[in-house]
Amino acid sequence: MKTVPLNCNHCGAPLRVSETARFATCAHCHAQLAIHHEGAAVFTEVLGEIAERTQSIEAEVRALRVERDLERLDKEWEKERREILGGARTPPKRHDTLLLGGLVFCFGTAALIYGLARGRESVAFGLLTIGTSVLMVLFGLGNKSLYEEAEARYSARRRGIQERGQGAAAPGKVQAR
């Protein structure tokens, strides 16, 4: 059996192992060693360190997945919010909607009263304007609550993904709880 001279990666003690061996135990410090062959070079690695490295790679993969999921969620939300808001960058404030609706309502009422007093066609115009003001308020408030619900859903999902990421970054902390 052909052997190769090696050093324990843990304590540095020399050891001889078979050329084809993949694992060895150090006779000096009893460390569990993996034997790596890279071209002509042969070296040992303490198995504990391999496990640590594998764990950190897994954490990295999970962190990347979280990042990708957040990106996808943000993109979806951007699309959804544009659909709800139309051209506006932010949803209209509730009192702005009521104020505008109220103004249109008053204008419609004035036109109605004027029409009733003078027997003009502004009766129809007044009624139409009043109806429009009511629809404006209903649509505005409905749209706002639709937006708020969608935003709450988005925030909850985002928090969920972030918590998953934090759990992955500190597995020790999660176990300790």
Interaction of residue 137 with Zn ion, rule CB under 5 A? no
Count CA within 13 A, CB hemisphere, residue 69.
16
CB of 44 to Zn ion, least distance (A): 9
CB of 2 to Zn ion, least distance (A): 22
Strand partners, 38: 41
Site for Zn ion in 72-131 (CB under 5 A): none
Element of type H or E holding 3: strand 3-7
Q: In the structure encoding, which two tokens stand for residue 139, read together?
A: 């649509």
Q: Name the residue nearer to Zn ion (CB basis): 30 or 53.
A: 30
Site for Zn ion in 8-47 (CB under 5 A): 8, 10-11, 13, 26, 28-29, 31
Q: Specify the residue for token string 């001279």.
A: 5
CA distance 62 to 59: 5
CA distance 81 to 83: 5
Q: Name the residue nearer to Zn ion (CB basis): 9 or 122.
A: 9
Q: Looking at 7-15, 55-63, 102-110, 147-155, which segment touches Zn ion (CB under 5 A)?
A: 7-15
Residues near Zn ion (CB under 5 A) are: 8, 10-11, 13, 26, 28-29, 31
